[in-house]
Amino acid sequence: MKNLREVSLPELEVMMAAMGEPKFRAKQIHEWVWQKFAADIHDMTNLSKALREKLAVEYFIPKVKMHHSQYSSDGTIKNRLQLHDGYYVESVLIPTEKRMTACVSSQVGCSLSCKFCATGYMDRARNLDFDEIVDEVTLLNELSQKHYNKNLSNIVFMGMGEPLLNYSNMMKAIEKITSPQGLGMSPRRITVSTAGVSKMIKKLADDKVKFKLALSLHAATDFKRNEIMPINETNNLNALIEALNYFYKETGSEITFEYILFKDFNDSLKDAEELVKLYRKVPADLINIIEYNPIDAARYEKPEEHKVDEFMEYLTAHKVNVRLRRSRGKDIDAACGQLANIGTSETQNP
């Protein structure tokens, strides 16, 4: 069986002609798949029963299903989503007064093994297909409409997995999400976060993307970054600085640094000084300082509030555009670095 969502509109037109159907049938099928988000070929009620039965012999629609949701006291909703082959991923709806943000996953598990991240302690089972990422966004949009009577305003690729290691599916998903024939969201409202794959950051630049880029930095020296993020051993800070400058030159798109504070590791004024030096080397718009959310597998802790205040004050005094980002959904393990799920299919791990 083939995935009907992988068939483009021109290919559908050729297919309809071969079946002796009028050309407009292709547009109807495309609308069912990408605007009405049909879950089954038999739901396409403006097609003849005979055509639906022909299509169903060779094609299916591998829809992502909502398995269950958890609700935080702050309004955040974490969702466990089941893929068509039994794997699971987590995604999060984050409501604020001005925004409704979808935090989406791009892989089942992750191969980068960041020491502070729950997903990093999982194996990477597989990449999400582009249509599965679109399904994530669609399901979160429906959830936003149901609970808050609002459409999504923003999307962040900050869930499970490294999006730049699932490059083609991520890009194709964003194309569908931003297309007038899809969800029609502005690319300026989408942020892709990376642990730092310098080669793929340059590819984003060459592809002239219009969405925003966030670098999960978390340490401003190679020595410390190597300790918590093994990817830095092959993508060190000099390589990332070069890649980010190239990205900005080619796209003019916004760059943000994400920096989690860990007690007695990267929270000193010396660390703040190193961060300022790095900030000056890249045309970054903002540094997001993030409070650490503990996980069972890691030994790290949150710093005391006065240390956070001192760190923030140092950056502000040195004219750094900085913001303290308070984590949402901590009571349901939906906060930054806490997403983790079963990395194998349900049939193998009931």
Q: Both tokens of residue 260? A: 């989690």
Q: Calculate ∠ Cα 290-118-229, nearest 5°.
A: 70
Q: How far apart are CA 87 and CA 222, in angstroms?
A: 35
Handedness of CA 32, 38, 42, 46 (dihedral sign): negative
For residue 107, give the nearest of 174, 157, 162, 158 by alpha carbon. Answer: 162
What is the Cα–Cα distance from 306 to 285, expressed in whole angstroms?
25
The structure tokens 């483009």 sit at 8
CB 198 within 8 A of CB 245: no
For residue 281, give both structure tokens.
């080397």
- Cα(235)–Cα(257) distance, rounded to whole angstroms? 16
Distance CA 138, CA 151 (A): 10
Residue 164 contacts residue 207 (beta carbons within 8 Å): no
Nearest to 81 by CA among 56, 96, 51, 102: 102
Check if 336 is active-site: yes
CB contact set of 131 (below 8 Å; sequence gap of 6+): 3, 5, 6, 62, 173, 176
Burial 244-254 (b: 16+ CB within 10 A, else e): bbbbbeebebb
Catalytic residue selected from 13, 21, 90, 132: 90
Annotation marks residue 110 as catalytic: no
Rg over CA atoms, the chain: 22
Cβ atoms 322, 315 nearer than 8 A:
yes
Q: Which of 103, 110, 117, 336 is catalytic?
A: 336
- Angle (nearest 5°) at CA 239 between 237 and 244: 90
Please list the active-site residues: 90, 336
